Amino acid sequence: MAGPLAGIRVVEMVGIGPCPFAAMMLADMGAHVIRIDRQATPGAPNPFPILGTKFDVMARSRDTLALDLKQEGARELVLELVAGADILVEGFRPGVMERLGLGPDVCLGRNPRLVYGRVTGWGQEGPLSQAAGHDINYIALSGMLAAMGRPGTPPDPPLNLLGDFGGGGMMLAFGVVCAALEAKASGKGQVVDAAMVDGAATLGAMVYGMRAAGAWSRERGANMLDGGAHFYGTYACADGKFVAIGAIEPQFYRRLLEAAGIDDPAFARQNDPVMWPALRDKLAALMRQRTRDEWCALLEGSDACFAPVLDIDEAPQHAHNHARGTYVDIDGVVQPAPAPRFSRTAADMPRAAGNPASPADVLRAWGLSGERIDAFAGRGVIAPRR
- Specify whether the backbone of 220 is left (phi greater than 0), alpha (psi in -120 to 50) or beta: beta
Catalytic: 164?
yes
Calpha distance 33→27 (Å, rounded): 6
Q: Which residue in 336, 224, 235, 237 sits closest to 281, CA to CA? A: 235
Calpha distance 27→37 (Å, rounded): 16
What are the strands, taking DSSP E only, across 40-137? Answer: 63-67, 87-90, 115-120
Amino acid type, 317: Q
Give just the sign of the alpha carbon dihedral 211, 215, 218, 221.
negative
Of these residues, 37, 135, 164, 198, which one is catalytic?
A: 164
Catalytic: 134?
yes
Number of DSSP helices (H) and strands (E) in the chain, helices first: 14, 11
Calpha distance 330→27 (Å, rounded): 15
Of these residues, 134, 193, 303, 374, which one is catalytic?
A: 134
Residue 108 sits at φ, ψ, to 5 deg, of -70, -25
Q: Which residue in 207, 189, 55 sits closest to 109, CA to CA? A: 189
DSSP string covering 26-47: HHHTT-EEEEEEEPPPTT---S
Calpha distance 184→200 (Å, rounded): 29
Calpha distance 323→142 (Å, rounded): 37
Calpha distance 176→25 (Å, rounded): 11
Please give the positions annotated as active site. Answer: 134, 164
